[in-house]
Amino acid sequence: MSIALRTYPPGETLTDVRELYARMAALGREGRPFAVATVVRTVGSTPQVVGAKMLIDDLGRTYGTLGGGCVEGDAFAEAKRILEEGGTSLREYELTEELAWDTGLVCGGTMWINIEPGTTALTIGDRDLLPEVLAASSTGTPIALATLLRKDGHDVVPAGRLYVEQDGSSGGSLGDPDLDARSRDLAAETLRAGTARTTALDDATELLVEPIVAKPHLVVAGAGHVGLALAKLAHSLDYDVTVIDDRPEFASRERFPDGVEVVRADMVEALTSLPIGWNAFIVVATRGHKLDAQCLRAAIGRPARYIGLLGSKRKTILIERMLRDEGLPEERIRSVHAPVGLDLGGRTPAEIALSVLAELSMERYGGSGRPLRLGDDIYERAVSRTR
């Protein structure tokens, strides 16, 4: 079956799930029926991750992507059927080597895609969570949506939903108090990590948890050469970026890419007063030890999930001693990533920025930082199977 899909012009792919929730609200205001297709489970190598979504409205317009190719085409056709007939669908797609060769999708994996009407996609119990999700995806309180997936032979079916907010409040049920309690704990843990994942509960059930958080926000105290490099790279990685400095020649709008917020102000006062939410990453990179310590003290008092200090090991030890002598709690001091960054060996401002942003990515996605290169044993086994 040949299925025509909408081709996205540049900037229209809406791959950011936060944009998709805003699109859901817009379609709702227009009275436009739509379906939501979500990757709820993956095994092996797949073209999209758990939590990826695509919206399909009654006019055949699509927003977001499930990875392209015939998988997306089939999901599109199934979504149109659901819009016409009602109901829901959860389908398995095995990405064989032949399929990968023909379509460009990554081979060797399997994806499960759930498709449901937009009217029920964010309804848990009797509560429509779209307002909370929209707030969480901008600057509001993070929230996690959890869906129970029950295995039925080779099939997987949704079997209940609940939600957990950052303050611990929750709603919805999976039908069993003990299962609810365990799932709420897993949802809260995943919410702290900020990245969607599917976790096996037992041999027959899994829990999909989708945290809804604001766009990552990098706040750099210090607009020197490294601060400039950090702002440029983070901006290209789609962070919201704020750079703070009290020197006019450094806090100059012209030095930074469009879209980067440049704040010329006392750095300590700015770190204390600027809006900084949970999904913020603060990097202190000022011109001196004393100012670094003052900025670090202010940063520690904010709700940001990550605080880093640029500099040498000697500088780190000196500043930690200063803060300890001032009576700051040991656990808060040691929560700071100092010196900030991964050991990549680079020395230029751009290479230092790469090191810092690599650590931020590892923090966001729970990566290991290890090389992805295949080990010799895995390579030899794979090659031997093709001989």
pLDDT band per the 50, 70, 90 thresholds, residue 20: very high
Q: Tokens for 217? A: 């926000």
Residue pLDDT, tens place only, 184-202: 999 999 988 888 889 999 8
Helix, strand counts (H, E) of the chain: 13, 17
Burial pattern 304-342, b for ≥16 Cβ within 10 A else e, equals bbbbbbbbeeebbeebbebbeeeebeeeebeebbbbbbe
What's the maximum distance between 2 C-alpha atoms anywhere in the chain?
71
Query: With the CA atoms of 377, 378, 380 and 386 taken in that order, what torsion angle do they form, in degrees rounded to the nearest 10?
Result: 160
| Mean pLDDT calculated for residue range 292-303 | 93
First to last CA, the chain: 35
Quick check: 11 pLDDT over 80?
Answer: no
Q: Tokens for 188? A: 């809260």
pLDDT band per the 50, 70, 90 thresholds, residue 54: very high
Domains of the chain, start order: 1-121 (no CATH), 128-213 (no CATH), 217-365 (3.40.50.720)
Quick check: 80 pLDDT over 90?
Answer: yes
- CB of 360 within 8 A of CB of 306? yes
pLDDT exceeding 90 applies to what percent of the chain? 58
Is there a cis peptide before residue 177, judged by omega within 30 degrees of 0?
no
| Mean pLDDT calculated for residue range 113-139 | 90
Residue pLDDT, tens place only, 237-270: 999 999 999 999 999 999 999 999 999 999 999 9
Q: What is the pLDDT of residue 107?
A: 52
| Mean pLDDT calculated for residue range 10-23 | 67
DSSP codes, 229-246: HHHHHHHHTT-EEEEEES
Residue pLDDT, tens place only, 88-125: 999 888 876 554 444 444 456 888 999 999 999 999 98
Sequence-separated (6 or more) residues with CB below 8 Å from residue 176: none
Q: What is the pLDDT of residue 109?
A: 81
Q: What is the pLDDT of residue 1?
A: 29
Q: What is the pLDDT of residue 324?
A: 87
Q: Which comes out higher in pLDDT, residue 100 or 326?
A: 326
Residue pLDDT, tens place only, 201-225: 988 899 999 999 888 999 999 999 9
